Structure 1
Amino acid sequence: EIFDETLIPEGDGLKILAVWTSLESQMIRLISQPATEIKQPPQQLIYKAPFLPQKTAATPHAEDVHRYHLETIKDGTEQFDRIESTVSHLYRRPHPILDYQSYGQAFLAKLREEKEVESGSRILEVGGGMGSISTDIMAELKKEGTPIEYTIYDLSPSLIRSQQKMHRQKGVQACHILGNGEFLALKDESIDIALSNEVIADFNTPEVKTSEVQDYLFDHEIPMTKEFFNPYKDEDAQEYVRVNLGAFQLLKELMRVLKPGGLAVVTEFGYQDRLPFRASHLDHAEYSIQFSQMISVAAALGFNLYLTDAFDFLGFRSDVNLITAFSYQAAFRIMESLGVYLPNMAYTPEMLEDELGSYYNGFRGLQFVGVNKDPFKVVKFLVCQKPDSIPQDQA
């Protein structure tokens, strides 16, 4: 009716509405039902502008990811609550969607289905975030009396401090190494289990002329199967492509440092049918992972492997209602105006009520919706096991 009355073509009108209702503009807000059917308007508007910090190229070291991690990141909580909220961060507390496990606890349970965590095992985490996964894994193993050595390789001094703070609070301890996870200063065959969770999008992803990719990877001693080049066979193939070189180098390093029979699980957002592209919502350069090429490199290195995703690997449930991103941001800004910090999590109504206490009853219009599998499905889990050593008499 609006388009008919204004003589605006429907396609153009929908584009205009998309801009006007966006989080960045917030010029208008659509209601969920006809105005004539609404008995009482919300007592408190659930939005305050601006919701999201502006992401611009002015961010220090936005293109130089190494310097960004070394110098720009100041605090783990701020980084993952306000700038880059990963799936693991949103589910860092025990949650009904994971049968009341945290992400880290669920990760450990699934690791154990792949490989036994024995007393004295050495576990490596490449990129430790703010420390929630390592804390939960070490705390669980400590509680059951399984001593292990846990090492975290991280490029950010600030994130290491956040990890250490969280570890102290839970009475656990890890060895921290400040360094680039693409090149591990670790001995050969020294690690039993390795994990890298939602990290490798930050790794080196150079732009290479498509016709020169094979020579480029050969110069960097990256092996691959012939299937590696399938994504370039499209008639509309680009002249230049991004190559997940850093992620390939990590796979190569993991094959070196894992003990025979060792396990590695590498997770990140990406696709099997799309070439690497830059994430547009962050304040620094991150690139998606081309997982068919990751499989090619891992297979050429000699790993036994399979590819799955966060939803299937960790066993996320689909019968839980979660707060929408719009409603969380609204609640965050309102609580901020009251001097209360609302952590960024995937709240259920019950979790949000527990978090807000008496404030919760003052809200109207918050939306909780059923689980959308897509955000979980786009986070891939590459599960790699290093073969056992070949007996000397068979070599």
Structure 2
Amino acid sequence: MSDFPPTSPSTIQPQALEGAVLQQRAWRMPDLIVYQYGPEEWWVTPLDEDLPLVKLNRMGASLLGAMDGRSSIQTLLAQFGKWVCGPHQETGRYFLERWATPRYSLCYYGDEAPSGHSVNAKWDLLLQKVREQWHENVAEETDEHLTDFHHKGIQSHHGHFEIVETTVSHLLREPCEALNGLSYGQLLAKTLRQLGWWNPKPNRIVEVGAGLGYLSHEMAKELTPVERRNVEYIFLDLTRPFLHSQLDLATKAGWNALALNANAEFLPIADASVDLVIDNENLADMTPTHFSKEELDSGKGANEEHQRSLDLIHKLRLNLDKPYPDEAIFNYGAIQFLIELWRVLRPGGRALLIEFGIDSGWPDPVRLPGHTEYEVQYSHMRHTAKWLGFNEQYCALPQLLSIKRDTQVLCTGAAYALRRLQEAEGKKFAVRAYTESELKQSLGDALPKITGLHYHNILDPAWFGLWDFKALILEKPGGFKRPAYQESGGFRWYSQR
């Protein structure tokens, strides 16, 4: 780990402590985690992953503790400014000039406290500024920037889902109390069996955008060897580095697995050849079309790609919300993926699509380090599914998985901070959903040295917004009638009907 200070002044411009700024007050960031490394040394994590830990002595810890919204910057500067507050001779002034900048985000300077979780809250605006600027987000987003990001922007799977884009399935990838002792993959396999999707079992499964492969690995734990026998499990991913991890975990779990490096909007799969498709948290990564109001009003696209999207909207007879905004986003890639699903699924084939999204209005961008994703407009998706001929069902993800509603889990911001603090000591810490007892088991003797931990109800939007994640359940008509039996442990149990 690099010593502090981490970078040159040209990289991080300190805030000038003069004029009106001196009359403002300071608030600590609400999710701030403080770790007492030694008797006279405390560590905290800046928001930007590229910056080393901030190390403080007792005076520096007192400075951080004094940022409770009651003292002005002028008062804090007079009290701590000239004193050494860090183990590398950084003064209180040095920290006061930097901690409120977006790359650090240890505190906020203002006339009133930042609060709330809406898009207009000051904290959210601050975090958005970090994602857009300090993580070098694409300067100009084109309709192809998501494809480019997954082709070129992800060079390694190491740490991607711990740092860049943590997903629901990644947070719940291990057996946890929130899922009654099961993992996300185990619970999903159990749900698919309850839906009757393993009766008869699928012969060919395609998982689109499988991340590191935990879903298939955990599904195998819930399914018996007989249920997995002669099943071909195919991974299809745009990001080549992920395929190695997917195949490795699937093979260890006992699947007969294959991998394809391809785009799900143009599936390299034969017609009517797949029994089950699982797409878990990928729809927001598919190609968007950025329309102008003039294009929507006239029906004439500014280029060939936009005209193709407009022609598709007309063909599907999609009912678009009016009046049109000056700029509108259309989930072209996700709609194209649905069309491909209809082509590759056998009669009776099924698909499960899970992603965050909305039921009305136009999708908003969701900014992440290095790229931007887009909400999925599910009324468009459901209309398209019905137009194609699918039987469809739709619900929120917590309803599909029957998530334990009263579970209290660690704030994800705290989990990110703990990972960095533990890594600084050469220890491993997985970012996931922790209950208090699970965190105690993971941290052991280090837990009493940490202050600032807090927990959310797992369904609280402040944790991860699970209610924003939807499940679209599709079935292509025309399959064979299901047999009147179920298989369990190699035995067949017949009904009396």
> If the TM-score is normalised by the length of the shorter chain, which range does it land in?
0.7 to 0.9
Q: Which moved more, 1:258-267 or 1:274-283?
A: 274-283
Match of 1:337 in 2: 424
- Superimposed CA distance per residue, residues 336-382 of structure 1 (whole angstroms, 9 cap, x where no aligned partner): 22122311101112222222233234333321232234311101111
Is the Cα contact below 8 Å between 1:320 and 1:348 reproduced in 2? yes
Is the Cα contact below 8 Å between 1:21 and 1:28 reproduced in 2? no
Q: Which of 404, 428, 438 in structure 2 is aligned with 1:351?
A: 438
Give the aligned residue type for 1:115.
G
Match of 1:376 in 2: 466
Match of 1:56 in 2: 136
Match of 1:166 in 2: 249
Match of 1:298 in 2: 385
Match of 1:40 in 2: none
Q: Which of 405, 409, 412 in structure 2 is aligned with 1:325?
A: 412
Q: CA deviation at 1:29?
A: 6.6
Q: Which moved more, 1:52-61 or 1:331-340?
A: 52-61
Distance 1:18 1:367, change over 3 A: closer
d(CA) in 1 for partners of 2:444 and 2:375? 39
Is the Cα contact below 8 Å between 2:459 and 2:467 reproduced in 1? no
Match of 1:122 in 2: 204
Q: CA deviation at 1:256?
A: 1.1
Give the aligned residue type for 2:379.
S
Give the aligned residue type for 1:83.
V
Match of 2:148 in 1: 67
Distance 1:192 1:120, change over 3 A: closer
Q: TM-score by structure 1 length?
A: 0.80
Q: Which of 277, 286, 309 in structure 2 is aligned with 1:194?
A: 277
d(CA) in 2 for partners of 1:181 and 1:345? 28
Q: Which of 296, 309, 319 in structure 2 is aligned with 1:210?
A: 296
Match of 1:79 in 2: 160
Is the Cα contact below 8 Å between 1:193 and 1:258 reproduced in 2? yes
Give the aligned residue type for 2:220.
M
Is the Cα contact below 8 Å between 1:21 and 1:29 reproduced in 2? no
Q: Matched residue of 2:316: which SS?
A: coil
Match of 2:87 in 1: none
Verify: 1:282 aligned to 2:364, yes or no.
no
Higher helix share: 1
Distance 1:19 1:346, change over 3 A: closer
d(CA) in 2 for partners of 1:60 and 1:106? 40
Distance 1:298 1:31, change over 3 A: farther
- The 5-angstrom pairing of residues 25-44 of structure 1 reads none
d(CA) in 1 for partners of 2:183 and 2:159? 20
- The 5-angstrom pairing of residues 83-94 of structure 1 reads 83-94=164-175
- Superimposed CA distance per residue, residues 171-226 of structure 1 (whole angstroms, 9 cap, x where no aligned partner): 4441111100111111111111111010011111011222228964464588524x
Match of 1:137 in 2: 219
Give the aligned residue type for 1:195.
I
d(CA) in 2 for partners of 1:21 and 1:97? 21
Q: CA deviation at 1:230?
A: 4.0
d(CA) in 1 for partners of 2:421 and 2:283? 35
d(CA) in 2 for partners of 1:296 and 1:309? 17
Is the Cα contact below 8 Å between 1:135 and 1:166 reproduced in 2? yes
Give the aligned residue type for 1:132.
Y
Question: Which structure has the greater CA radius of gyration?
Answer: 2
Q: Matched residue of 1:280: which SS?
A: strand
Match of 2:264 in 1: 181
With CA pairs under 8 Å and 6+ residues apart, which has the higher RCO, 1 or 2? Answer: 1
Q: CA deviation at 1:282?
A: 3.4
Give the total of aligned pairs.
364
Is the Cα contact below 8 Å between 2:162 and 2:416 reproduced in 1? no
Q: CA deviation at 1:142?
A: 4.7
Q: Matched residue of 1:296: which SS?
A: helix
Q: Which moved more, 1:366-375 or 1:253-262?
A: 366-375
Q: Matched residue of 2:381: which SS?
A: helix
Is the Cα contact below 8 Å between 1:61 and 1:72 reproduced in 2? no
Q: Which moved more, 1:364-373 or 1:275-284?
A: 364-373
d(CA) in 1 for partners of 2:480 and 2:233? 28
d(CA) in 1 for partners of 2:205 and 2:451? 46
Is the Cα contact below 8 Å between 2:345 and 2:476 reproduced in 1? yes
Verify: 1:104 aligned to 2:185, yes or no.
yes
d(CA) in 2 for partners of 1:70 and 1:139? 31
Give the share of equivalent positions with the same residue, in percent.
27
Structure 2: tracts of 5 or more residues without a match: 1-19, 33-45, 49-53, 55-62, 71-98, 107-129, 302-306, 482-497
Is the Cα contact below 8 Å between 1:61 and 1:67 reproduced in 2? no
Give the aligned residue type for 1:108.
A
d(CA) in 1 for partners of 2:66 and 2:209? 41
Distance 1:277 1:198, change over 3 A: same
Distance 1:204 1:18, change over 3 A: farther
Match of 2:399 in 1: 312
Structure 1: tracts of 5 or more residues without a match: 1-7, 35-46
Q: Which of 236, 239, 248 in structure 2 is aligned with 1:156?
A: 239
- Superimposed CA distance per residue, residues 14-51 of structure 1 (whole angstroms, 9 cap, x where no aligned partner): 9x85989897599967999x9xxxxxxxxxxxx99578
Q: Matched residue of 2:319: which SS?
A: helix
Is the Cα contact below 8 Å between 1:267 and 1:381 reproduced in 2? yes
d(CA) in 1 for partners of 2:387 and 2:227? 38
Q: Which moved more, 1:352-361 or 1:307-316?
A: 352-361
Q: TM-score by structure 2 length?
A: 0.65
Q: Matched residue of 2:372: which SS?
A: coil
Is the Cα contact below 8 Å between 2:271 and 2:345 reproduced in 1? yes
Q: Which moved more, 1:295-304 or 1:161-170?
A: 161-170
Distance 1:256 1:329, change over 3 A: same
Q: CA deviation at 1:324?
A: 1.0
Q: CA deviation at 1:276?
A: 1.6
Distance 1:329 1:291, change over 3 A: same
